[in-house]
Amino acid sequence: MDLKAHQEIVLQLLLAILILACSRAGFAEPFLIVGTPEEPFKMETSESIQGIDVDVISEVMAQLGVEYDIQLIASGARIIREAQQGRIDMVLSFSFKEPRTDYLVYPEQSYKDVSWNFFYHEDNFGRFHYDQLSDLKGLKVGAVNAWAYTPEFWHAPFKIEEVSKHTLLLDMLLHKRIDLAPMNLVETRYRLKQRGLSNTLLYLPTPLISRPYFNAFVKFSKHPMMKRVQAGYDQIIRQMREDGRINEIYSAYLGEVPTRE
């Protein structure tokens, strides 16, 4: 075989490899993102999946040029198993726990703090001050029985009115049967907006407890776009926080924070 023929064969092989690589990239499965249903972050309607997390991810993936698919699974344990097996690419809204780093890679940036704040009736505006639990001494505070809150909460110097679920606390506040009730800030604001009660039940700014949640990458994912997503995610989230896009997305679901003179 002469040199020219040999070069021709090598070129044909290289071209075939290039075509195959492009074909695989072009027909790669969408980047699979999974989370549990959670108002107002991830909500499945008859037509689509909507929510704060969904809108943020949409912005990120649009900037990265990555095709993706979001699926909701009711069982958090199943999501963890899927991540451990590398069958998904990203999980939505996970708190940081050291054992999870065996199968998840956490980004630096978070746009979501899960906070529990004390809600109260608008007629009591200006009456309460809260920096520590002792500030609420003597008040009537609603709580869901056996709910964790904080270790100190159940021993605080206020009278606790126990109920079986958080929706009952809203009704108790509306009828002024309790002074305060700790509830998930974002979820409660969303429900109040849905009921037209955003200006009726307000909340104290200092949270009882708050911690960040992350959209984490699956360590064992073999998706060809994983490196691109990991490389660009933090920068895009940081930009969205700084330019106000994150706040705009939250406001679309929660409305503006009620103010009082």
Where in the chain are all domains bearing CATH 3.40.190.10? 9-112+213-254, 114-210
pTM: 0.85
pLDDT at 238: 98
pLDDT at 4: 57
Backbone φ and ψ for 57, nearest 5 degrees, come out as: -60, -40
Which residue reads 């040199």 in tokens?
A: 3
Under CATH, which number does the domain 114-210 receive? 3.40.190.10
pLDDT at 20: 46
CA distance 170 to 163: 11
Residues with Cβ < 8 Å from 194, sequence gap 6 or more?
none
pLDDT at 67: 98
pLDDT at 124: 97
Three-state SS for 220-252 is CCCCCCHHHHHHHHHHHHHHHHHCCHHHHHHHH
Tokens of 132: 């520590």
pLDDT at 6: 52
Report residues of the chain scoring pLDDT below 50: 10, 19-26, 259-261
Residues with Cβ < 8 Å from 177, sequence gap 6 or more?
140, 161
Pure H helices in 65-152: 76-84
pLDDT at 28: 72
Protein fold of 9-112+213-254: D-Maltodextrin-Binding Protein; domain 2 (3.40.190)
Nearest to 237 by CA among 255, 215, 220: 215
For residue 217, the cross-strand partners are 90, 105
